[in-house]
Structure 1
Amino acid sequence: MPLEFTHVPGRTHAADNSAPFFYDFAETATRLGLIEDGGFQKIVVDDTAGLLTNMDIATQVLDRTSSLEVVLTHWAGVIDPVVAARQLAAIDARRGGRLALRMLSEPLSDDDAETRPVGHTVIWQRIDEYLVLLKRLWSNDRPFDHEGAFYSINGGYVPRKGPHGADLTIRMGGQSGTALRVAGRHADVFELAPGSIDDVGQLMERVRAAAAEHGRAGKLRFALPVRIHQGASAAGHKAVDLSGPPAQVALSLLAYAGLGIDEFMIVGVDTPREIATVGRDTLALLRNSPARREAEVPQAGAFAPHPAQRMQARV
């Protein structure tokens, strides 16, 4: 399976460095064209304004692109699951099935804290129930009732979701046993934590083991966040840090790809020049290298990071 690349926007507006990537959509539209033409298959929408703003941005991005998949950052508990399922299914159906859902953990609200203890396990239990309901709402052909630990639904149903229901890709992450159990049950793509090749490989094995409990070990794909330094760096995202000539960056990433990683989430590439350069150089090398690697069958260690390459994991 060919490598895929996801653009993770930072904050590099020309007039205000603190402004988000989608600050001015007239300017963003130009960057979206460069991202799409530069070899990226996906773009993350994760605006600090919140979930409803993210949904609006996702719709605009889908309207202004022809092939980019939008990875929409989402949280359980912000809006009712029936409302969320209807809105997400409608967006996905109208825009050709190019929407993916990126589920992040989020602390419970003060109201929730008054009725049940707040903790890591509780947060993931709510995410689990939320995803069960979304999937059921996207696939059911008649209304249903539900009474759970976090959600109560009476006559839940999502109309106009297409002849085959809604089938959004679910993306998740985490490192705790609780998080991995939920991800093993629901995730189609697992977003890995940054680390050395050994650390990342060990996490992948833990995720596969968790997915195997649900008969899904072979159904998971893996994505790794990577920050490529070319100048001003993006803020607010954790990623493996890389700098150097495109060939060295590509060589280092191939070592991670050898673990079975299917996707690199590229951070720190936001200006038109950075987007064009990385697309033309680094991504092109990475797209071509796996084919050459399979044809040449190199010896073990041939794709290890170059000693001169500066690479570290930021946590």
Structure 2
Amino acid sequence: MPIEFTHVPGKIHPADAGFFYDFVETATKLSLIGDAGFRKIVVDDQAGLLTNMDIAAQALDRTSSLEVVLTHWAGVIEPTVAARQLAALDAKSGGRLSLRMLSEPLSDDDAETRPAGHTAVWQRIDEYLVLLKRLWSNDRPFDHEGAFYSIKDGYVPRKGPHGADVTIRMGGQSGTALKVAGRHADIFELTPGSLDEIRQMMQRVRSAAAEHGRAGKLRFALPVRIRPEHNASGHKSVDVSGPPAQIALSLFPYAGLGIHEFMIAGVDRPREIATAGRETIALLRNSLARREADVPQPGAFAPRTVREARAR
């Protein structure tokens, strides 16, 4: 499977309003990001879910090629409202929307009437996703009474083009989080770490997904931050720096683990975006294509020793 690259916007300067707040400039950047070889862009504004949904709608209007990865939390709005709005976005974009579910502690109001704690947070996410998928696929209204949500005559009349198959992205490290991700996630966003740590986490996630017959359907994404050469951190974080060819070489062993997607942060200026596409992304894709061409079984990497590339 070809490697994919996702752009994670940041701020060029701390005082900047953010990537999406000047949509005239943003439209130009979105075009540049697509031309550079990125397939997706993350929407994750500090203002929260409702702002994210508004930004996602505007971003989808301003690009016809990029998929928008919408960062989302359970508990902010009711599942029936979220299902309608997300289905409308997915339909309007022609299926270019994916949902990135993050965990968030229960509010004080929730904690007064419902069990609090880490397990409860993930139980709510689980119930929320079950309801979203059911609302995106049902052909008649239904009632639901659960631990966190109560629905009467739940129904979404206008489904998105993918129905209940909207791509769900999740992460987490605890056993509870992995159980929920194993049931729902199409793409699992890994926590940065050493090659061995990431390999072990991938094994844990696959085991969780296997309990639901989904191990073969799961894909993995790895967050990567490209930093100025003088500002790189230690080798256990996936922080890379240096010339574009060196950055591509640093990421190559991680792709060898079976990671399908790199979520690239730290390239926000037009020149940085263009350079990343022209050199780093192109070089890594070409190197992986040559390696796969030498493998007898399509889509698999030839056995060889994988050495961790230290960030420089």
TM-score range for the pair, normalised by the shorter chain length: over 0.9
Change (3 A) 1:163 1:268: closer
Give 3-state SS (helix, strand or coil) of 2:80's partner: helix
Question: 1:194 pairs with 189, 192, 195, which one?
Answer: 192
Change (3 A) 1:87 1:284: same
Aligned equivalents of 1:105, 1:230: Cα separation in 2: 31
Give 3-state SS (helix, strand or coil) of 2:134's partner: helix
Aligned residue number for residue 85 of structure 1: 83
Question: 1:109 pairs with 87, 107, 123, which one?
Answer: 107
CA contact (8 A) 1:38 1:279 kept: yes
- Deviation of the 1:296 alpha carbon: 4.4
Give 3-state SS (helix, strand or coil) of 2:224's partner: strand
TM-score (norm 1): 0.91
Q: How much is the aligned-residue C-alpha RMSD, in angstroms? A: 2.0
Code of the aligned partner of 1:7: H
Aligned residue number for residue 310 of structure 1: 311
Give 3-state SS (helix, strand or coil) of 2:133's partner: helix
TM-score (norm 2): 0.92
Aligned equivalents of 2:157, 2:230: Cα separation in 1: 45
Aligned equivalents of 1:164, 1:276: Cα separation in 2: 32
Code of the aligned partner of 1:147: E
Aligned residue number for residue 12 of structure 1: 12
**Length, aligned pairs only:** 303
- 1:272-287 maps to which residues of 2 (within 5 A)? 272-287=270-285
Code of the aligned partner of 2:88: A
- Please list every run of at least 4 consecutive aligned residues from structure 1 whose deviation after the TM superposition is greater than 6 angstroms: none
Code of the aligned partner of 2:304: A
Aligned residue number for residue 69 of structure 2: 71
- 1:99-178 maps to which residues of 2 (within 5 A)? 99-162=97-160, 165-178=163-176
- 1:210-225 maps to which residues of 2 (within 5 A)? 210-225=208-223
Quick one: percent identity of the two aligned structures?
78
Deviates more, 1:4-13 or 1:38-47: 4-13
Aligned equivalents of 1:39, 1:18: Cα separation in 2: 25
Give 3-state SS (helix, strand or coil) of 1:2's partner: coil
* CA shift digits 1:35-90 (9 cap, x unpaired): 01100000000001111111111111111111100000000000000000000001
Give 3-state SS (helix, strand or coil) of 1:310's partner: coil
Aligned equivalents of 2:230, 2:91: Cα separation in 1: 37
Give 3-state SS (helix, strand or coil) of 2:221's partner: strand
- Deviation of the 1:12 alpha carbon: 1.9
- Deviation of the 1:23 alpha carbon: 2.2
- Deviation of the 1:180 alpha carbon: 0.1
Code of the aligned partner of 1:136: R
- Deviation of the 1:117 alpha carbon: 3.2
Aligned equivalents of 1:42, 1:63: Cα separation in 2: 14
Deviates more, 1:249-258 or 1:239-248: 239-248
- Deviation of the 1:232 alpha carbon: 11
Give 3-state SS (helix, strand or coil) of 2:165's partner: coil
Aligned equivalents of 1:258, 1:110: Cα separation in 2: 44
| 2:34 is equivalent to residue 30 of structure 1 | no
Task: Note the residue ranges of structure 2 that are not aligned, 5 or more in a row.
Answer: 296-301
Task: Note the residue ranges of structure 1 that are not aligned, 5 or more in a row.
Answer: none
Aligned equivalents of 1:163, 1:274: Cα separation in 2: 34
Code of the aligned partner of 2:82: A
- Deviation of the 1:19 alpha carbon: 2.3
